[in-house]
Structure 1
Amino acid sequence: MGNLAEIKPHAVLVPFPSQGHINALFQLAKLLYLRGFHITFVNTEYNHKRWLKSRDSNSLDGFNFETIPDGLTPLEGNGDVTQDVVSLCQSIRKNFLHPFGELLTKLHDSAVAGVTPPVTCLVSDCFMPFAIQAAEEHALPTIIFNPCNACTFLTSLHIRTLLEKGLIPLKDESYLTNGYLDNKVDCIPGLKNFRLKDLLDVVRTTDPNDSQVEFVIEAADTFHRASAIVFNTYNELESDVMNELYSMFPSLYTIGPLSSFLNQTPQNNLESLGSNLWKEDTKCLKWLESREPRSVVYVNFGSITVMNPDQLLEFAWGLANSMKPFLWIIRPDLVIGGSFILSSMFENEISDRGLIASWCPQEKVLNHPSIGGFLTHCGWNST
């Protein structure tokens, strides 16, 4: 590689293996690439296969992809569904460290041979705690990337506090509906007027040995070991929370919303390099062109949320009865128990004003002038 291997900084980026987390870190990877970094983006083997199926372009000089196994039993069928998050988290704890360490060794050997620049830093999703240990073993600085809101990050640091005060786990499932979750949280500095139900989903557990609680605590225990922490948010949006975090960490940076920064930057040959794990149905953009400005309701419940058939029907007829044009994304694994076919009666009702697609280029859709509303699950990377 000559001088290139000596000059270019080389960042290895490791997202949590779900669509929203991948999207956010991929945006950061693009921004680093455009500023002269050599990029190695690490997906699980499962997600990388899905990504290859969904894209026409899969490589770029200086923007490389590597994979590690996820340690899970292969899914039946076409393997184009979101994996179970609880199972993924447990596998991250048990199975990811060794293969990721081997990958860092491989990248080191590649640099010694002059094939790629030496790795200069690791950028890891905040919920991939093994990465910190692997980086320390290879004497690499680590930047933790928080793709979620700052409130989630701060809450993660105080899960032990909630346990110690007896606020979680819930005594039984009646506490989910009896108003208990409306209680204000006064034991986490920086959270003003927050209720229990406003916090991470793990606060809803009734299990004193909940594996997800353990996973969040384990991840939070690594935060102080990072060289720096980067947030996909901005100070004005979460000022109280960010002020508390600034008092806890010496090197903390807010750089969000990443999508805005990326859209303001000429991307040139990066345009064709996307991060969606499902193939995008671009026909919906042409359909939107035929609609009046600000007239269409866009419906998308993200990449992880699921619902039962009855819930799907409620949304379906709610949209039909609204009499508004709508674009509804129903991904292949949205309905619990497999595929679900909407009735011909529904199809006839919405034929002239509704479009259903399995996935779409969401940012292009949201930026389209015909979109007038967004029905969403409120995931941070959708908002």
Structure 2
Amino acid sequence: MEKQATKSYERVVLVPTPGFSITVAHAKFNSLNPSNHLEFVSLLLSDNIFERDFGNLYDVIVVVNNNCKVPLQEYLAQKMEKEEPHEQVTCIIFDWIMYFAESVANNLKLPSIILNTRCPSNFVAYHAFFSLAHKVTFLYKDLPLTKFCTLEEALKLIAHVCNLRASAIIWNTMDFLEHTELSQLQKHYQVPSFSIGPLHKLASLTSTSLVEEDTNGIQWMDKQALRSVIYVRLGSLATMDKKDLTEIAWGLANSDKSSLWVVRSDSIPGTEWVDILPKGFEEGVGERGCIIKWAPQKEVLAHCAVGGF
């Protein structure tokens, strides 16, 4: 009897360092629940962003960076003063928006690593805007941040991005998806870089919505035909004027298609939600339309009734 070929495998042996400890320093706003992450040490930084009104997103970023720097530095300095040889603080990893952490790392003579949750292509665009800003005249509408800050503020934020100097960078991507962009950025930053994305695949699904989600849209879609619904949502920050929203409303009504439309209460600044929709629109779409203030987006996009978005 002929002997069957034996299938061969290659085995990888992983030897982790024992006692590896992670401290998560998080602004109090939208902070994680420490009881759900017992493997980490949690440090809540006082950001004080609820104590004042903000004109735009740039103001929030500046205030968080200004307010969180001192408490983080004081905490780490005390910890390093008392630390045992086997409990040394060896590195700070920070989201690029939280650029104050790089200054803290430099002050404490610690290496720092930038964590970029946005894609490298986004950063290539930032570098292009910053380098061209003083050579050509930009139209205000051409910058991606103009909805959220002034042109001057946008350039200040981009300057922070371009001038970050850490020991390494973690990118939320894969090399084969953005090889050209990663090569360009490597020439600029000239530090080791690690492409470990997509990051959302590495964590369990949790809701990070800052607005209460309405599940009525899912229940309505359960009654709709396969791939028959147009899903319309403009994100969590974008605003528009009454004329633009009216155009969208009647476009959906005249399409004769079913639609799930997310209309935030602040879609039109200074307007109450009940006054946002044009008169007669809801009666015009009838059962073909479902309008809600917020939606569990991943569930909506995964729904079999969605035909376009």
Using the size of structure 1 for normalisation, the TM-score is: 0.63
What's the CA shift string for 1:203-260, capped at 9, x where partnerless? xx996xx1331222133211xx22221222333443322221233433112233333x
**Native 8 Å contact 1:159 1:217 kept in 2:** no
Whether the aligned pair in 1 keeps the contact of 2:253 and 2:285 (CA below 8 Å) is: yes
The higher relative CO (CA closer than 8 Å, separation ≥ 6) is in 1
Contact in 2 for aligned 1:152/1:200 (Cα 8 Å): no
Match of 2:58 among 86, 90, 93: 86
**Identity of paired residues, percent?**
29
SS at 2:291 equivalent: strand
Instruction: Return the letter of the residue paired with 2:175.
Output: N
Residues 309-366 of structure 1: CA distance to partner in whole angstroms, max 9, x if unpaired? 2222221221222222222222232221142322562112223122222222212221
SS at 1:7 equivalent: coil
Q: AA paired with 1:133?
A: S
2 CA distance for matches of 1:357 and 1:66?
36
User: Which residue of structure 2 lines up, in the alignment, with residue 360 of structure 1?
Assistant: 295
Does the Cα contact within 8 Å between 2:249 and 2:278 map onto a contact in 1?
no
Q: Which amino acid aligns with 1:257?
A: P
2:163 aligns with one of 212, 221, 226: 221
Which runs of no fewer than 5 residues in structure 1 stay unpaired?
A: 1-5, 13-39, 77-81, 178-196, 375-383
For 1:358 and 1:83, how far apart are their aligned partners in 2? Answer: 23
**SS of the counterpart of 2:51?**
coil
User: Does residue 1:309 correspond to 2:242, yes or no?
Assistant: yes
Deviation at 1:41, TM superposition (A): 5.5
- Residues 338 and 289 of structure 1: is their aligned pair in 2 closer, same or farther, counting only changes over 3 Å? same
Match of 1:214, SS?
Answer: helix
Match in the other structure for 2:185: 245
Whether 1:326 and 2:296 are equivalent positions in the alignment is: no
Tell me: CA distance 1:201–1:46, structure 2 relative to 1, closer, same or farther (3 Å).
closer
**Aligned: 1:371 with 2:281:** no
Assess, with a 3 A threshold, how the Cα gap between structure 1 residues 355 and 160 changes in structure 2: closer, same or farther. closer
Q: Is the 8 A contact 1:90 1:211 kept in 2?
A: no
Aligned counterparts, 1:167-316, within 5 A: 167-168=136-137, 170=138, 175=139, 197=142, 200-201=144-145, 210-222=152-164, 225-248=165-188, 249-259=190-200, 261-262=201-202, 267=204, 271=205, 273-316=206-249
Runs of 4+ in 1 over 6 A off after TM superposition: none
Please give the root-mean-square deviation of Cα atoms over the aligned residues, in Å: 3.5
**Deviation for aligned residue 1:159:** 4.5
Is this contact kept in 1: 2:246–2:278, CA < 8 A?
A: no
Would the alpha carbon gap of residues 128 and 292 (structure 1) be closer, same or farther in structure 2, given more than 3 Å must change? Answer: same
The match for 2:119 is 149
- Asked if structure 1 preserves the Cα contact closer than 8 Å seen for 2:66 and 2:100, the reply is no
Query: Match of 1:351, SS?
Result: helix
How many equivalent residue pairs? 286
CA contact (8 A) 1:146 1:232 kept: yes
Question: Are residues 336 and 150 of structure 1, via their aligned partners in 2, closer, same or farther at CA, if it must alter by over 3 Å?
Answer: same
Specify whether residues 66 and 275 from structure 1 end up closer, same or farther in structure 2 by C-alpha distance, changes over 3 A only. farther
* Aligned residue number for residue 8 of structure 1: 20
Q: 1:121 to 1:358 in 2, by over 3 A?
A: farther
